[in-house]
Every structure is written in C-alpha cells, then in structure tokens.
Chain A
C-alpha cells in the first residue's frame, strides 16, 4: 500500500463516518450477530415456558411479546442485515470494484438501523408492553386491539425498511456499474447474482410493507378504516398486502444463502459449479414466482375456490426451480475431490435441511391438506427448516469461509466442526418433533398446551438450549480467531477457491482494486 492511500481513521470516528465497504460490512455483521443473540434469547424464553405444560415462567401476555419480537428481530435485525453486511464485504471484492457505488448512503443505511431497533426494543418498557400481535401483525389485533407501543413499532419498521431499500439500491447500482472490465453478467459469481436479484425483490416489496404499516397508522390515529369492516374496510386486505411483501421477503432471506452455498460447494469439491446458467435462471424464476404465490399463507381466510387453485398451482411450481438448484449442488459434488472443512459441513447441512424444509413447503402448498397444517406447529417446523437451516446455516458457512480473508487469521477447525455438529443435532432435536406435534393438532403461538404434546415439546426445548449454546461457541471461535488465530499467508486461502476475492492479500487491505483487475 503506497503512502498516498488513506488508512482507516482512528477511534470511534472511523466507525461513525466511514464510507469503506469493509468497515460498513463489519458493522452490519456485528450488529446482526448482536440482534441474533437477542432474538435467540427470546426464543430461549419461549422454549423454557414450553418446556412442560402449565404456566411456569411468564404470563401469556408476555409470551406473545416474546414470539412477536423473536420473529421481528430475527427477520429484520439478524438475517437481513447479516446478508447486507456480507454483500458489503464481498460484492466489491468479487466483482473487482474499489468500493460500493454509493458509499455515503451506505454509511447512512447502516447507521439508521441501530435506531430502528432501539425504538423497537424500547417498547418493552412502555405501558402495555411490546408489540404482541405476532411478527405478521394481522389487523385488527395490531390496530384496534394493539398496545400503544404499536406506533413505535410502525416507526421502527419504516426506518428499517428505509435502510433495506437504500442497501438494496446500493447493491444493484454496484453490480450494474462497478464490475471490472471483462466481468460480464454471466461471469459474475453466483453470490453476486443472487444478491443482485434479491436487491430487486427488496426494492419492489419494502415499499409495500411501508404502505401496510402506514395504513395501520392511519387506522389507529387518523380515523380511517382500511382494515376495519365496521368502517367499510377489510381485515383480509391487510393480509393480502402483508403477504405480497411477506412472500418475496422469504426469498430475500434465502436467495443470498443460495449464493453462499454456490460459492462454497465448488471450492471444497474442487470442481466448477454445475449448471451455472441454470442456477441464474432458476434464481430469477424463483424471484418471479415469489410475487404470485402470496395467498398460500391465507388458504383458510375464505378465498373463492378459483383463487385458491391459482395460488396452489403457482406455489407448487416453485418446487421446479428450487429442485434444479439442489440437483446442481449435488452434481457439483459428484466426482469432485471433496474435503470437509467447517464451511463445507455447513453448506452440506444447508442442502440437506433446506431440502427438507422444501418438502414440507410442497406439502403446505397443497391447499386441502393445508386446512389441517395451517397455523399449526407443522408450519413452525417448516419455516424454521428454511430460515434457520437455510439462512442461518448459510450465513455461518459464509463467516467461516471468508473469515480468513477478512482478518487474515485461520479459525480453529476442531471448534468449527464441533459447532457444526452441536448445531446440527440441536437444530433437528428442536424442530423435527415440531412436525409431529403440528400434525397431531398443536396450534402455533400458544403459551401452554394439552398433555398429549408434552413429550415432543420437552425434546424441542432441550434441543433449543443445545442449539442456543452452539451459538456461543460460534461467538467464541470468531473472537478467538480475530484476536489470536493462526495467521494466513496465502491469498488463496482454500485450495479449490476461485474468484477475485482470493487474488487480494489476506487480510484484505483497507482499499482493494483501486485499479481494476483483469478478468479473463
């Protein structure tokens, strides 16, 4: 690095005023991990209460606040910012750009996030408590019947929505304008592709969410009746608007994870990704389909049968491109020369468990059967297989994969593998039995349950504590690596790794690709 290059500023101002994509990425990652632990703590409270039948630890009213805040914090505070952080760090490195296209906006889109979540978390100390209407906040429970803190919740959602939209615009602008010469669209690493598509999903649906909460605000404070039949509105309208945002949202959460796994599996298989083109097309198809399937979350609201059939067929179709992705990953592994370092273990864990979540998703798509599954623990099991084993496993996979590049030090492999196996066992012990209780008739979001569900709930709670503990192992391993990990000398940390990020030094210098690299 020459003298004319700026290093990072000193002290706190480095973090407050930085426009460096690596600094901002780091802040996003730490912030999301803190939120992950907070949302996880709420999950532990939920599982502790559900450890056995009867009310032991908390009141039903507080239980509802826990389930609501667990969902909100995990979706908006943990998973989404984590992937934005990953995008900040990796997209410029992967496409040979010196930074993000809009660095100042980048700083702002991060720094409004802590305020959004401070507002959200402060609602615990307000009269009536925190939001208690579920993370899907169906009206009129979230309007006429909501605690006063709902107004702060709405404000918080507006701010974090703003942050997401700015983050997405930045990523789309970077991918479109900042690619190194020779890096055509169809040469971009798959992680960049999945994020590029995700960015468009975000730009399309976050304003819809903003619209939904604004209509709530109007209903609560300004006398409108969007969601109240008494004034000519319709509570089901809320659900349509929410899920028009909500279904693309679940792909916003999972597509970057697909991208991560598509980077990691070829590396540790020492073989090129199978079916690159079809991976891109499959991702685009999933994104398109995500806009026309939203009402499969609402099979029991009393839609006309024609609507029900349309949403059923469209939803079933998603199995096709998703299947293509799974087949491609396995074909990549086929006749490779595999090794099983921690990132590869998490990637394989992702493929197996996410596929199982996909299977239950297909079952849920079948509208008549959904009349029995809907709002039961079967749904809870399904979406945790896709969200936790999908988003969280792929995120953990990404951290282990790129950590040596970020900090120039190698993590402890034994500890990493231990964390994987503890997570894997804990996760399955938590969520697999939830399929059973759901099918046996246990509704979701209840603080207490009938005796027939007691045994599997006990298993679930034990599993949750194990899974929770495994995250502390993760925190320890990452901190220990940054502080005192074995230094990494090589640029290409992993033997089979390909891509521009592996052509820069480890740790990656503060400024990279100030002159564009050559892409063949």
Chain B
C-alpha cells in the first residue's frame, strides 16, 4: 500500500510545485527538501510502524470522507429546489441509525489493535546498550553518556546558525536553524535509551526520523529509546514551548558505525582530560579573550546581544557588574541571578571557559578593564563559596 501512496503523494506534489513555483522561486538551496507533505517512516522499525499506522488511519478517513462527502455532493446537486423537487418527509430510521453507530465502532476497534501493540513496544525500554541523559535548558540541550568508557562524557549542544542568517544579513544555509555546534553521536543498530529531563522549564526532545518525542520535565525523568538502522545525520527541534528561544534549540543526531562511535567517544574522553590539564594553566589576555569570544557567542549572545548591548538580559557594555569586582562578576555568571532569566553557568561551562568568558566580558564592548581571570581563580571562587 505504501508504494501506491508515495506515487499519489508524488504526483500531488508535482502538481502543487508547478502551481506555486512562480510564487516561491528562488527560496533555499538545492538540498533543502521542499514541498514535503507527509510524515517520514524514518530509520527505525518503530518509525515505520508508526508511519504505517498513520497511513492506515489516513486512508480509512479518506474512504469515509469520499463516501460521506460524495453522498452530500450528490444530494446538493439533485435535491435542490431549483430542480422542482418536493421535499421528502422522513425524519428517522432506527435501522440506519443503529448501523451508523455500530459500523464506526467496529472500524475503531480495527484501528485500536495495531495502535495498542505498537504503543506497548514503544514503552519497552529494556535491554538498552547505550544510555544517554538528555537535559533541556533554556535554550540548548545537554547530553551525558552514562556508564560509557570510564570517564563521564557530557557536553552541551547549541544552535550554530549564525545570527546574521537569522537577521537576514547573510544567505541562509541548507540546514538553517537545524544545525548545532556539537551533535549527539550514537551507534547504528544498537538500542539507545534516552533519559529525558529538564533544568528549568518543560522542553520536548523530538527527532522525527528516530521516531522519538518525549517531554523533558524539570524534576522528573522520562524514558524513551530508539534503534537506528541506518547511518546518517538526523535533525529535530524542541517541541514544547519553553520561552523566548524555543524555536532556536535544534537537535542533531549523528548515527555512526560502532567503531566510529567508540573512536568518537575516546576523543571526547581525551578532550575531557585535556580540559583538566588546561585548568591548571595560566593564560595571557589574548588567549582568554579569543576563547571567551567563542564562549560568549554560544552562551551569552542570545540574551545580552552581539555588542553586549543587552536585550532579555542586562547590558554588559559599561555594566557595573562587568566593570566591578571580579568576585561579583563571577558570582553572577557562576550562580546566576535568582528571579531573572540569568542562569547559573557554574555547572554548564568548565572553569577554563568560565574564566575566558569573564575575562572577555571585562575587556570587550569598550569595558577595557585590562584585568584577567584565570581558571584557577574560578576554581578558588567556587571552592570559597
């Protein structure tokens, strides 16, 4: 049945494209999959079953719709006063009324059976080979690999589309709004269990091709899973309204071979120990500002503006905090500002990045404080609390 459906959808799509190509010409790059009209089965067995269920119910609806609207159209055509008909007087029929109550009921039972079995399988999170804790933050995702290769691997995944594309200054790239700095990496053919939660408000983790959508709820942990059958890059978005940048916290999942996965994991572990080493080093101003610039772009810019001019967050350019005591400045960044949208970044960024971004803020946007904050200062600040 599904091949017939695809052909039908294909031809509908061609018709629509032809109709509107004039209107929409010039939008987007070649690879953008335009005019998609249907759900994708994706790359999982559950995804295909959901897709089949979706199409079955769809076609039942189409058949009922054609029958019901067909009868209505025929009636509209034939039973009109202008054709000189006299209205009939019947107004009830027990037989017919019982029939159109019972028949739909039976159709519903036929739909409920496959829906029930699929649902029960979706809820079976047993025997996973990889476990990943997914935490939603305003407005990024944190991924933590649990029990993988000794060292704890965890990182944040943030939108990487440049601000200039969102503000229509540059041409938008193919993966506009669907690209991140660090994608989640999972192995192909392995059952991966996601433990989903949130740090602040409710988010929802949705990757259509992996047939996964689960609400991320602060204080509670939800479970879901996927088993990707094909390697590739799959993209999704946060699906629950979570505040200002709800539309700007995409999800990118790279499904790779098992060997590639382990290689990647090894690199992440190595990176983590590298950071540990960096923490004991001293940096000069240029190094810190350079690193801090990158950290700022990823974490601060959305609220504090590209020039530190402020927005949702307070202005950093010329601010009393950024130009005051280092301890006070660190306090705002590490612990956040309660009662405002300013989050505590102390557990989101490592000490090197915290030192870099603090130094950057003190020396950028015309603040020119000239002082620098080293990773060891951040460490001591945290210890001293």
Would A276 and B168 be within 8 Å (CB), given that A375-B204, A376-B239, A443-B238 are in contact? no
Complex: A363 Cα to B61 Cα, angstroms = 9
> Which residues from chain B contact A230 at a C-beta distance below 8 Å?
218-219
Min Cβ gap B126→A in Å is 13
**Interface-facing stretch out of A49-57, A101-109, A201-209, A510-518:** A49-57
Contact A334 B75 (CB under 8 A): yes
> Which residues from chain B contact A7 at a C-beta distance below 8 Å?
none
Min Cβ gap B341→A in Å is 8
B229 CB–A CB distance under 8 Å: no
Contact A368 B97 (CB under 8 A): no
A288 CB–B CB distance under 8 Å: no
- Taking a contact as CB atoms closer than 8 A, the residue among B28, B50, B61, B243 that contacts A372 in the complex is B50
Complex: A52 Cα to B90 Cα, angstroms = 53
Would A448 and B122 be within 8 Å (CB), given that A274-B92, A441-B208 are in contact? no
Interface size on A, residues (CB 8 A): 96
Q: Annotate B79-109 by CB proximity to A: 1 below 8 A, 0 otherwise.
A: 1111001111111100011001100110010
> Which residues from chain A contact B49 at a C-beta distance below 8 Å?
368
Complex: A320 Cα to B97 Cα, angstroms = 11
Contact B76 A451 (CB under 8 A): no
Would A369 and B50 be within 8 Å (CB), given that A60-B247, A446-B246 are in contact? yes
A145 CB–B CB distance under 8 Å: yes
B172 CB–A CB distance under 8 Å: yes
Q: Which residue of chain A is the closest to B81 with respect to CB atoms?
A: A337
Contact A276 B92 (CB under 8 A): yes
A302 CB–B CB distance under 8 Å: yes
Complex: A333 Cα to B245 Cα, angstroms = 50
B112 CB–A CB distance under 8 Å: yes
Contact B122 A368 (CB under 8 A): yes
- Taking a contact as CB atoms closer than 8 A, the residue among A234, A333, A362 that contacts B72 in the complex is A333
Complex: A348 Cα to B79 Cα, angstroms = 14
> Which residues from chain A contact B237 at a C-beta distance below 8 Å?
441, 443, 446
Min Cβ gap B132→A in Å is 16
A366 CB–B CB distance under 8 Å: yes
A115 CB–B CB distance under 8 Å: no
B29 CB–A CB distance under 8 Å: yes
Complex: A273 Cα to B87 Cα, angstroms = 12
Min Cβ gap A311→B in Å is 11
Would A330 and B68 be within 8 Å (CB), given that A145-B243, A271-B88 are in contact? yes
- Taking a contact as CB atoms closer than 8 A, the residue among A145, A270, A334, A436 that contacts B81 in the complex is A270
Contact B39 A439 (CB under 8 A): yes
Would A55 and B167 be within 8 Å (CB), given that A330-B68, A458-B24 are in contact? yes
Complex: A123 Cα to B208 Cα, angstroms = 37
| CB within 8 Å of B: which A48-103 residues | 52-56, 60-61, 64
A447 CB–B CB distance under 8 Å: yes
- Taking a contact as CB atoms closer than 8 A, the residue among A55, A234, A305, A441 that contacts B168 in the complex is A55
Complex: A23 Cα to B111 Cα, angstroms = 50
Contact B214 A455 (CB under 8 A): no
Complex: A348 Cα to B204 Cα, angstroms = 39
Contact A60 B248 (CB under 8 A): yes
Would A236 and B220 be within 8 Å (CB), given that A145-B200, A272-B91, A301-B215 are in contact? yes
Contact A53 B53 (CB under 8 A): no
Q: Which residue of chain A is the closest to B221 with respect to CB atoms?
A: A302
**Interface-facing stretch out of B147-155, B174-182, B272-280, B329-337:** B174-182
Q: Annotate A271-297 by CB proximity to B: 1 below 8 A, 0 otherwise.
A: 111111110000000000000000000
Which of A335, A339, A356 has the most chain B CB atoms closer than 10 A to its own CB?
A335
A151 CB–B CB distance under 8 Å: no
Q: Which residue of chain B is the closest to A308 with respect to CB atoms?
A: B119
| CB within 8 Å of B: which A20-69 residues | 52-56, 60-61, 64
B244 CB–A CB distance under 8 Å: yes
Contact B79 A336 (CB under 8 A): yes
A412 CB–B CB distance under 8 Å: no
B233 CB–A CB distance under 8 Å: no
Contact A145 B201 (CB under 8 A): yes
A154 CB–B CB distance under 8 Å: no
| CB within 8 Å of A: which B322-359 residues | 341
A186 CB–B CB distance under 8 Å: no
Complex: A363 Cα to B201 Cα, angstroms = 29
- Taking a contact as CB atoms closer than 8 A, the residue among A141, A309, A317 that contacts B202 in the complex is A141
Min Cβ gap A322→B in Å is 9
Q: Which residue of chain B is the closest to A332 with respect to CB atoms?
A: B91
- Taking a contact as CB atoms closer than 8 A, the residue among A53, A144, A300 that contacts B172 in the complex is A53
Min Cβ gap A280→B in Å is 12
B14 CB–A CB distance under 8 Å: no
Complex: A444 Cα to B118 Cα, angstroms = 25
A161 CB–B CB distance under 8 Å: no
**Interface-facing stretch out of A132-140, A187-195, A479-487:** A132-140
A478 CB–B CB distance under 8 Å: no
- Taking a contact as CB atoms closer than 8 A, the residue among A64, A348, A366 that contacts B57 in the complex is A366
- Taking a contact as CB atoms closer than 8 A, the residue among A133, A270, A454 that contacts B24 in the complex is A454
Contact A320 B108 (CB under 8 A): yes
Complex: A305 Cα to B116 Cα, angstroms = 10
| CB within 8 Å of B: which A312-340 residues | 312-313, 316-317, 319-320, 323-324, 326-327, 330-340
> Which residues from chain B contact A270 at a C-beta distance below 8 Å?
81, 87
Contact B72 A236 (CB under 8 A): no
- Taking a contact as CB atoms closer than 8 A, the residue among A331, A339, A374, A445 that contacts B246 in the complex is A445
Min Cβ gap A183→B in Å is 19
B65 CB–A CB distance under 8 Å: yes
- Taking a contact as CB atoms closer than 8 A, the residue among B101, B202, B215 that contacts A324 in the complex is B101
> Which residues from chain A contact B64 at a C-beta distance below 8 Å?
359
**Interface-facing stretch out of B30-38, B261-269, B292-300, B375-383:** B30-38
Complex: A403 Cα to B101 Cα, angstroms = 36
B15 CB–A CB distance under 8 Å: no
Min Cβ gap A369→B in Å is 5
> Which residues from chain B contact A134 at a C-beta distance below 8 Å?
241
Q: Annotate B221-251 by CB proximity to A: 1 below 8 A, 0 otherwise.
A: 0110000000000001111111111111000
A269 CB–B CB distance under 8 Å: yes
Min Cβ gap A404→B in Å is 19
B314 CB–A CB distance under 8 Å: no
Contact A236 B217 (CB under 8 A): yes
Would A374 and B119 be within 8 Å (CB), given that A439-B37, A451-B28 are in contact? no
A450 CB–B CB distance under 8 Å: yes
Would A374 and B213 be within 8 Å (CB), given that A141-B201, A439-B38 are in contact? yes
> Which residues from chain B contact A144 at a C-beta distance below 8 Å?
201
B23 CB–A CB distance under 8 Å: yes
Complex: A312 Cα to B69 Cα, angstroms = 27
Q: Which residue of chain B is the closest to A230 with respect to CB atoms?
A: B219
Would A138 and B218 be within 8 Å (CB), given that A441-B208, A448-B248, A449-B177 are in contact? no
Min Cβ gap A234→B in Å is 7
Contact A312 B23 (CB under 8 A): no
Min Cβ gap A44→B in Å is 19
Contact A455 B27 (CB under 8 A): yes
Min Cβ gap B193→A in Å is 14
A440 CB–B CB distance under 8 Å: yes
Min Cβ gap B103→A in Å is 9
A235 CB–B CB distance under 8 Å: yes
- Taking a contact as CB atoms closer than 8 A, the residue among B23, B36, B89, B244 that contacts A436 in the complex is B36
> Which residues from chain A contact B289 at a C-beta distance below 8 Å?
none
Report, nearest first, the 5 A-B pairs whose CB atoms are least far apart: A229-B219, A446-B247, A302-B222, A359-B61, A335-B88
User: Could you write out 10 A-B pairs with CB less than 8 Å apart?
Assistant: A145-B138, A228-B218, A228-B219, A309-B119, A320-B105, A324-B101, A334-B79, A366-B54, A368-B53, A374-B239
With A319-B108, A368-B118, A371-B122 known, 17 other A-B pairs at CB within 8 A are A230-B219, A274-B91, A302-B222, A316-B111, A320-B108, A323-B100, A324-B97, A334-B88, A335-B87, A337-B85, A363-B58, A367-B115, A375-B213, A440-B38, A448-B177, A452-B36, A459-B20
